[in-house]
Structure 1
Amino acid sequence: MTKTVWVFPGQGSQALNMGMELLEVPCAKAKFSQAEEILGWSVIDICQSNIDTLSRTLYTQPCLYVIESILSDLLLEKGHRPDLVAGHSLGEYTALYTAGVFDWATGLHLIKQRAEIMDNTSGGLMAALLNFDQAQLAQVIKDTPNVVLANDNSPAQVVISGTPEAVKTVMSQVKAKRALPLKVSGAFHSPLMNAAATQFQEVLDTATFKTAVCPVLSNVDPNPEIDADILKARLSQQMTGSVRWREIALQLPENGIGKVIEIGPGNVLTGLVKRTVEGLILVNIRNLPELENYSS
């Protein structure tokens, strides 16, 4: 049987009306109600509001977690099981939940606090670079203070993060097909998030983590791991550390993975994997119809 990894997207994959067909499913409807009690606002209402509201970090992160986790639960109920799990930034929380590292409510409480802290962060800039000169980028980042490689997504796509001046300097000096500033509130996955990370650490310290039922590939360390303490330590580094997605993709064939299932809206992660590794089966489960039609 083909070994499978389940991957979960982060911010940027959100879409209006995502997950609304799940309201037809009783267990999903119960999760939406439970989420409203924890969050103090309705995921259903936010997902049906407007894209600017949905794309605000405060709302995006909990909404994605709720919808991705419901789809994951339904896939597990159908008898499917992943051999590995991974998530991109926020998506790592859904991966950890799917691997049984913490319960659903704990995950949502963590994300609620994470989203609120990150939404209140300001003063930084992030930008995506596509089809760039890798050697030149590495050198310019090395020579430019206050900017780092935040997301190493694929050989042809990265995200840089830092002060606005430093990010703009890199964008002006590196040859790239496209260089796009991102609509985010702060310089995520960079040292500029140190204060936010320290604040969030107090929240993370209160959460109970368990041994994973399947290995997790973490953003800051793409090596498979099930140990609760190690996974928690990795997560504590995530807010300031780089998302090493390209390395996660390269780990998949090394671990015998033949199929990648992206669970959640969009197809960003399967696209990045396709640009990094050849020969893998790529599947997207973005909604209830795709889940119901999926058979391993």
Structure 2
Amino acid sequence: MKTAWVFPGQGSQAVGMGVDLATTAIGKTKFEKAQEILGWSVIERCQGDETELSRTIYTQPCLYVIESILVDLLTEKGQLPDLVAGHSLGEYSALYAAKVFDFATGLQLVKRRAELMSESAGGKMVALMKFDRSQLENAIANIPDVVFANDNSEQQVVISGTPEAVDQLCSQVQAKRALPLKVSGAFHSPLMATAAAQFQELLEAAHFMDAQVPILSNIDPTPATSATLLKDRLIKQMTGSVRWREIMLSLSSEGVTQATEVGPGKVLAGLIKRACPDITLSNVGCIADL
């Protein structure tokens, strides 16, 4: 029986998330450490204004801190996964869970990543639901400056690029729903190249260890434990696609029978339920779930 832990990214945040974790010794220590590194309180942000919490600069560190605390609480109970994966920002939590880096290293990376991504401008992202995949792939191949940012499932993707290119694609591809995302830039696209280059310096200097359990990375959903390879994949993550649909298929092919979404919300569990009906699912987002 193989178990996977999966970690959600931006979009799963909610006011009130993680607040109960401050009642645990592990949570209290981590929240205090996070405040030292960030210069602001995760707990205060999570109890504050929804619009403020949804700003990239706050969302990403808050999610990483909360997911890391949940990892520690699960580990304390003697639970360990056989495989881990995270969606976009969630990949940092997955790397923490696999002991590739310590909490502070991960948070320093996430803090800088959030700053650089929130500073990027001039791009557009749109989520598409229920469409003809071959028509969509054909349009992406023929329209410059637009790419798959998140290939979430057979019938749910996010496209990213220049506003003109994204609008052109949306006019050519019929989808049941097209939902513009409230983000500053074209995340997970070549338009993030400048931010990615700035981030790479910090990433290359960070100390990574070989993973204790295999990780399915966003840009390459094949299991890996090598510190060098995992870092290389993370360097490419900011400009590359989140290949979540393939990650889910890898869970099945790797023989995973149970998957736990560690973090707020149930977005990933919902996607896995539809793509891999044979996998038993659970969610750990608060103390009660433990």
Please say whether Structure 1 and Structure 2 have the same fold, judged by a TM-score greater than 0.5.
Answer: yes
Q: Look up the match of 2:72.
A: 73
Match for residue 220 of structure 1? Answer: 219
Q: Map of 1:140-289 to 2, 5 A cutoff?
A: 140-289=139-288
Listed as ranges, the gaps of 5+ residues in structure 1 are 292-296
Q: CA deviation at 1:278?
A: 2.1
Work out the CA distance in 1 between the residues paired with 2:171 and 2:67: 37
Deviates more, 1:226-235 or 1:274-283: 274-283
- Residues 26 and 72, structure 2, Cα contact 8 Å, conserved in 1: no
What is aligned with 1:15? 14
SS at match of 1:114: helix
Partner letter of residue 83 of structure 2?
A: L
5 Å matches for 1:4-43?
4-43=3-42
User: C-alpha root-mean-square deviation of aligned residues, in Å?
Assistant: 0.6
Corresponding position of 2:81: 82
Residue identity in the other structure for 1:92: E
1:125-159: CA deviation from partner (whole Å, max 9, x where unpaired)? 00000011101101111111110011100001000
Percent identity among equivalent residues?
Answer: 62
The alignment partner of 2:144 has SS state of coil
* Moved beyond 4 Å, runs of 4+: none
Query: Per-residue deviation at 1:168?
Result: 1.0
Does the CA contact (< 8 Å) of 1:6 and 1:85 recur in 2? yes
In structure 2, give the amino acid aligned to 1:227. S
One-letter identity of the residue aligned with 2:25: P
Where structure 2 has 5 or more consecutive residues not aligned to the other structure, the ranges are: none
Contact 1:217 1:224 in 2 (8 A): yes
Task: Name the amino acid aligned to 1:275.
Answer: R
Q: CA deviation at 1:100?
A: 0.5
TM-score, normalisation: structure 1: 0.97
CA deviation string 1:2-21 (max 9, x = no partner): 21000000000000010001
Q: Supply the distance in 2 between the matched residues of 1:29 and 1:175 (Cα, whole angstroms).
A: 49
Looking at structure 2, the residues matched to 177 and 11 of structure 1 have their Cα atoms a distance apart, in angstroms, of: 23
Distance in 2 (CA, whole Å) between partners of 1:150 and 1:22 is: 32
TM-score (norm 2): 0.99
- Structural mapping, 1:99-178, within 5 Å: 99-178=98-177
- Partner secondary structure for residue 205 of structure 1: helix
> Do 1:126 and 1:162's aligned partners in 2 also have CA atoms closer than 8 Å?
yes
Is this contact kept in 2: 1:155–1:275, CA < 8 A?
no
Q: How far is the alpha carbon of 1:35 from its aligned partner? A: 0.3
Aligned pair count reads 290
Q: Structure 2: how far apart are the matches of 1:143 and 1:205? A: 35
